[in-house]
Structure 1
Amino acid sequence: MTTTPTPGASQPPQTSSPDRPAGLYKAFAASLTGTALEWYDFAVYSAAAAVVFPIIFFPSSDPLTGTILAFSTYAVGYVSRPVGGIIFGRLGDRIGRKKVLVATLMIIGVATVLIGILPGYATIGIAAPLILVLLRFAQGVGVGGEWGGAVLLSSEYGDPKKRGFWASAAQVGPPAGNLMANGALAILTVAMTEDAFISYGWRIAFLFSAVLVGFGLWIRLKLEDTPVFKAIEAHGDRPQAPVKEVLTTQLRPLIAAILSRVGPDVLYALFTVFTLTYGIQFLGYERNQVLTAVLVGSAFQLITIPLAGAVSDRINRRVVYAAAAILGAAWTFIFFGILGSNNQAILVIGIILGLTCHSFMYGPQAAFVVEQFSPRLRSTGSSLAYTFAGVIGGAIAPLMFTLLLSEFGSWVPVAAYVGVAGILTLIGLALGRDPHNTEDEEYRTMLETEKI
């Protein structure tokens, strides 16, 4: 089978094959670059919440209190994701994947630039943290609507039998964005004094977002919608009330997808966000040392995430996912047990291995979530699963880690929290289903038969 238009079609003929139809590489690039740019914005905020915002927006005589307040605004970005998931997930099934992705990129880009020029508490008082929360909310809405569309963009162009690899394009976005964000912050901290960085240097990383978002829009505006959605649209199969339909007809798949995401979200928050606070405030590392360790770990994920997606195409996806969830929980205990002060090598290796465990959950995750829902409800179902899982997983994780450490003065409750999240993920995988690739093939056949 081929999705190449025939001579009478509206598009010019292009060379393609069953597993590499025309537009696939462009869709892969748009999915990867778009999510990378949006997660750059989101990750810059996450890093700044750990090292800058407690000083600029939440001044307090107690550094831990300031950190807790800063992480509370970090959580707002997750709590607002369901809003974006509901709005844009529904639109993705109603008007198409591409239009949604352009809108979400604009929302998060504008919000991030505005954070970069927002005066601090010393200048405008309580208005500063209040506006920061509103902008953080907008960021979350954008990210909440982004993921479902980005995943479908690449996975619905590719061969369903290789969905693990093609869908991983969107999954590479977060570590790529995290890599750029922490890299920018690390360069700024080295290039200027600490006073200069706290005063204005951190704002440069936020303002640079304008350039990145412009580049992402340029790529996405050139792309057509997916063959699967075009077939659904042409045959009048678009759902009228997709949110209601998902909640009433696909509740078990939704629960399975939500629970499957909890473990990876919590593990990622531990190794990319909480380690900044723990390493700097409790182990005495320099800020640049911890940022560099996260930077190296994120760089490895650029390889391990698509690798994990490809492996899950050859081995049962749920088995790969489950094994990584167990290893991730176990490694957390080992990591804290061997981590000491001023041991940069252990810190770097520990974060690399922790994020590798995350990769072998996160790489197959997009394909697993997409495969839980029928094609006509995929955008809504995937977006709802992604956003609601974020609330119970990644949203409160850094805050809970900090509170547990403050209350017990030990890392053991923190590691136990990661273990519980891993158990929830295993339950979700047990409730889920394996791929039904014939669903995509039927819509692809429709598209070819009707010469859309």
Structure 2
Amino acid sequence: MTSAELATLAHLPTRFGAHGATPDNSPDEAQIAPGDIAVGVVIGRASEYFDFFVYGIASVLVFPSVFFPFVDRLQGTLYAFALFALAFVVRPLGTLIGMSLQRHFGRGAKLTAALLVLGTSTVTMALLPGFATAGGTAILLLTLCRVAQGLGLGASWDGLPSLLALNAPENKRGWYAMLGQLGAPLGFLISCGVFAYLWGNLSETDFLDWGWRFPFFAAFAINVVALFARLRLVVTHEYERQLEEAELEPCDVRELVSQQGSNVLVGAFAPLASYALFHLVTVFPLSWVMIYSQQEIGQFMSVELLGAVLAAVAMPLSGLLADRIGRRSTLGALAVAIGLFSLATPWLLGGTDFRQDLFILIGFVLLGLSYGQSAGSVSSNFESRFRYTGAALSSDLAWLVGAAFAPLVALGLSAQFGLVAVSMYLLSGALVTLVALRTNKVLSMRD
């Protein structure tokens, strides 16, 4: 290139600057790229899922022996699963508390406090004495920590998924909706991998004495990293400006319920099949194999790790599928697939080691495809000023109805009536999803 050409290029106007800024816009008008938002969403969600999966896995491998040694293995696991559900029960309350904190102190302070509560409650579990040392006090402390986890998770809603959806290109909304969901398989992959390593390399005595505590300590460090990744976006002027323009701010809950309560309910039930499947392929099978199967736990956990990888691979496919046929059609088709899969549950999970492994691998693929499009599946129904709070509460209720009691109900019913009860439970979730999606379509046409 000649010097004359270089001189000409030097005087050409620069089209794009950092984050999409242009010379016609001041730096304050710069736009946050969807890719930047997606990174914050993935890191934040992965840390939250890590905390919850660490507790879920410990509910099977650790808590029956450490906190409930006075009952048999089945009953101890059921007690642990009952505590597991508590976090999802209080999560909507955490969301409302977080909204109040945000109004008074700002989004950044709210998010910092929420993740501090979530991380502190998780790491505190690593310091708890067992029942043999503290008796019922140990169970009470574990319960309080679990409740604090739920409150912290609810309060940590930052609006990033909604902002990501609003910034996504028109023909790639399914793809960008999927990105935030990648935190689920990543969180499970890390937590299950840590537990699998400890289980395979420590004696049973060492594992139950101190080994199980390490993942809970690691959760705090992961939360610190996630906090900075999310605050990097949350406290920037560009982010706040975009939230204000999109009206992604807390609204009055009573007004939300009175004017768009039907959308909250539909949003809670539309992804029910995926949310029910969520814990029925991650936490519940581990408890079933632990109690009723002869398969070695370390081997089974390695299959679950492979399943998590398959789920992570399937999620991008869900984005491509949703952009081609629509998110509602994608969720409906996958609800049908989950219903068919539920019918094979007794034959797969109640069979040989190979069939149990097949249940996990198929289940994780279906989970990746369905869960990739489950978040905010009907959030577009909300008016702009209700979307921030409506999306948060819809998600909280979806977790409560679909996933909170899934391990407890599945294990309790299967112990009494066999695995066919799990089939009926999962099939009912698929049917509810289809009804909710149909209702959503009717409401959309009416509006």
- Common fold by TM > 0.5: yes
Larger Rg: 2
Show structure 1 runs of 5+ residues with no match: 15-20, 437-452
| CA–CA distance in structure 2, aligned partners of residues 356 and 219 of structure 1 | 29
Cα shift at 1:61: 3.7
The answer as to 2:271 corresponding to 1:255 is no
Indicate how the Cα distance of structure 1 residues 89 and 302 shifts in structure 2: closer, same or farther if over 3 A, else same. farther
Q: 1:103 to 1:311 in 2, by over 3 A?
A: farther
Matched, 1:220 2:266: no
Q: CA deviation at 1:382?
A: 1.0
* Structure 1 residue identity aligned to 2:392: S
Question: What is the aligned partner in structure 1 of residue 432 from structure 2?
Answer: 424
Select the residue among 399, 402, 415 that pairs with 1:393: 402
Contact 1:328–1:357 at 8 Å: present in 2 too?
A: yes
Single out whichever of 263-272 and 222-231 deviates more from structure 2: 222-231
Q: Residue in 1 aligned with 2:27?
A: 11
219-228 or 424-433, larger mean C-alpha shift: 219-228
> For residues 50-449 of structure 1, what are the structure 2 equivalents within 5 Å?
50-88=60-98, 100-146=110-156, 149-224=159-234, 230-231=241-242, 233=244, 241-340=251-350, 343=353, 345-408=354-417, 410-433=418-441
Question: How far is 1:96 from its partner?
Answer: 7.1
Between 1:242-251 and 1:43-52, the stretch displaced more is 242-251
Percent identity between matched residues is: 31
Q: Is 2-11 or 254-263 further displaced after alignment?
A: 2-11
Q: 1:35·1:146 contact (CA, 8 Å) conserved in 2?
A: no
Change (3 A) 1:336 1:170: same
Amino acid in structure 2 at the alignment position of 1:431? T
> Matched residues in 2 for 1:111 and 1:271: separation?
26
Partner of 1:450: none
CA distance in 1 between counterparts of 2:242 and 2:116 reads 27
How far apart are 1:241 and its partner, in Å?
A: 4.1
Q: Relative to structure 1, is the Cα distance of residues 207 and 435 closer, same or farther in structure 2, using a 3 angstrom cutoff?
A: farther
Distance 2:249 2:33 in 1: 25
Q: What do residues 257-276 of structure 1 show as CA deviations (whole Å, max 9, x unaligned)? A: 01113221211111111101
Structure number with higher relative contact order (C-alpha < 8 Å, ≥ 6 residues apart): 1
Code of the residue aligned with 1:197 in structure 2: it is F
Following the alignment from structure 1 to structure 2, what is the Cα–Cα distance between the partners of residues 60 and 201? 22
Secondary structure of the 2:295 match is coil
TM-score by length of 1: 0.86
- The amino acid across from 1:265 in the alignment is Y
- Alignment check: 8 A CA contact 2:198 2:212 kept: yes
Q: Is the 8 A contact 2:271 2:398 kept in 1?
A: yes
Q: Contact 1:102 / 1:220 at 8 angstroms: preserved in 2?
A: no
Residue identity opposite 1:230 in structure 2? R
Closer, same or farther in 2 for the Cα pair 1:403/1:375, shift >3 Å? same
1:9-41 CA distance string (max 9 Å, x none): 552786xxxxxx643222111100111011101
1:407: Cα distance to partner?
A: 1.9
In the alignment, the residues of structure 1 paired with residue 165 and residue 237 of structure 2 have an alpha-carbon distance, to the nearest angstrom, of 9
Q: How far did 1:99 drift?
A: 5.5
Is the alpha carbon distance of 1:8 and 1:184 closer, same or farther for their aligned partners in structure 2, counting shifts above 3 Å?
same
Q: Shift in Å at residue 59 of structure 1? A: 1.5
Change (3 A) 1:227 1:429: farther
Q: 1:31 to 1:403 in 2, by over 3 A?
A: same
Tell me the CA shift for residue 414 of structure 1.
1.3
CA shift, 1:215, in A, is: 1.3
Higher mean alpha-carbon deviation, 312-321 vs 87-96, is at 87-96
Report deviation, 1:228.
8.1
- Distance, in Å, in 2 between the alignment partners of 1:226 and 1:358 is 37
| CA 45–153 in structure 1, closer or farther in 2 if over 3 Å, else same | farther
Deviations 1:191-235 (A, max 9, x none): 111111111101001101122112112212221469686256369
Native 8 Å contact 1:232 1:376 kept in 2: no
Q: Secondary structure at the match of 1:272?
A: coil
* 2:300 counterpart letter in structure 1: V
Counterpart Cα distance in 1 of 2:420 and 2:248: 49
Contact kept, 8 Å, 1:253 with 1:431, in 2: the verdict is no
Separation in 2, partners of 1:384, 1:431: 19
Using the alignment, how far apart are the partners of 1:396 and 1:275 within structure 2?
14
Q: Is the 8 A contact 2:126 2:214 kept in 1?
A: yes
What is the CA–CA distance in structure 1 between the aligned matches of 2:35 and 2:283, rounded to whole Å? Answer: 32
Structure 1 205/147 Cα, relative in aligned 2: closer, same or farther at 3 Å?
same
Q: 1:241 to 1:150 in 2, by over 3 A?
A: closer
